[in-house]
Amino acid sequence: MATVDLFAIGNALIDQEFKISDDFLIQQGLQKGTMQLTDGPTQAALYQNLLNSQDYKGQASGGSAANTTVAFSALGSSAFYACRVGNDELGQIYLDGLNDADIYTSTKSKTDGVTGTCMVLISPDTERTMHTYLGITTELSAEQVDYEPLKKAKWLYIEGYLSTSPSARLAVKQARQIAREHGVKIALSLSDPAMVQYAREGLNELIDEGVDVLFCNEQEALMYTETHTLDEAFAKLKLKNHTIVITQGAKGASVYSANTHFHLGGRRVTAVDANGAGDAFAGAFLYALNQHMSLEDATQLAILISSEVVAQYGPRLDIENYAKLLKNFQTECA
């Protein structure tokens, strides 16, 4: 196994994306902008309903941390993804997709079971709502994780969605311990307001004594800290975490650390799909830090990459587009 810059651990899901009406969300009793866990038969019924009545946009390999890892790798750094897929067609499609993006995986990730799937529902206002059947990924455990690449990595990235799985939290605990022993920096995303609302104890366990970089959006930050302003949220989050990055959609992002506090505005794009935007932001931000860019430049690059994701359907750009955007960014900064 080659040495990698980023070791990421997260869910492995095949996304089925639909453009839907707000009325459809109301009819199905789904809360806009959040992720809801479900079982296989319930999701299958929803999927058929979607095919019959809504606008199908396509299939893609997803998973929050996987989207982050793809952005990180496509910009030019090396990465490994630890996950669990089933020994089925979708599982092989998933791993092949990561490998095609030059991301390392392990044969340990493939086991008996059904690969997870996610119905990604895009509202007219571009907000994404997710209806997720985790399948075998809910049983991700230390046994499916090859920790060797982590020992020489520069960053460990943890997906907040793992907060719902006891076995996954134990796998993350082991990853955190290895990271500390080998001087690997740790980054984590709160991932979704639903995780803050329903899996707070699990998130606390993932965060443990704190991380080097914490990613969250404005809603997640306020919910997690039970505050009313970003300054109040920062005051609580900084007690355990070194750098806090709070994304604010079209308004840009706010970054807090011991030495700096700033806000950068967003880019104007024609938004069509917010799915994967936060994931892409985290991947670009970590790539920039891995290249020793300043926090300001890292934020600016992350805003650029994530805004381009918002301007298309699907959670990821075509692989070659990341490098093109980076080249343009470097030219403008020169």
Return d(Cα 10, Cα 49) in angstroms, integer: 29
Domain 6-13+63-116+135-333 -> CATH class: alpha beta
Render pLDDT for 214-273 as a digit per residue (tens, 0 to 9).
999 999 999 999 999 999 999 999 999 999 999 999 999 999 998 899 999 999 999 888
Residues paired with residue 215 on neighbouring β-strands, in sequence order: 189, 245
Helix (H, G, I), strand (E, B) or coil at 85: strand
Give the total residue count for the chain: 334
Report residue 189: phi and psi, to 5°: -115, 135
Residue spans of the domains in the chain: they are 6-13+63-116+135-333
Render pLDDT for 169-192 as a digit per residue (tens, 0 to 9).
999 999 999 999 999 999 999 999
The 3-state secondary structure of 279-323 reads HHHHHHHHHHHHCCCCHHHHHHHHHHHHHHHHCCCCCCCCHHHHH
Return d(Cα 240, Cα 264) in angstroms, integer: 24
Q: Give the DSSP H/E element, type plus range, for residue 185.
A: strand 185-189
Report residue 34: phi and psi, to 5°: -125, 170
**pLDDT value of position 228:** 97
Chain centroid offset of residue 40 CA = 23
**pLDDT value of position 59:** 86
**pLDDT value of position 189:** 98
- Identify the burial level of 311 via C-beta atoms within 10 angstroms of its C-beta, where 0-12 means exposed, 13-18 middle and 19 or more buried: middle
**pLDDT value of position 62:** 85
**pLDDT value of position 60:** 82
**pLDDT value of position 1:** 59
**pLDDT value of position 273:** 85
Report residue 307: phi and psi, to 5°: -65, -35
Given a cut of 50, the residues of the chain with pLDDT beneath it are none
Instruction: Output the CA angle 130-131-134, nearest 5 degrees.
Output: 110
Return d(Cα 172, Cα 141) in angstroms, integer: 9
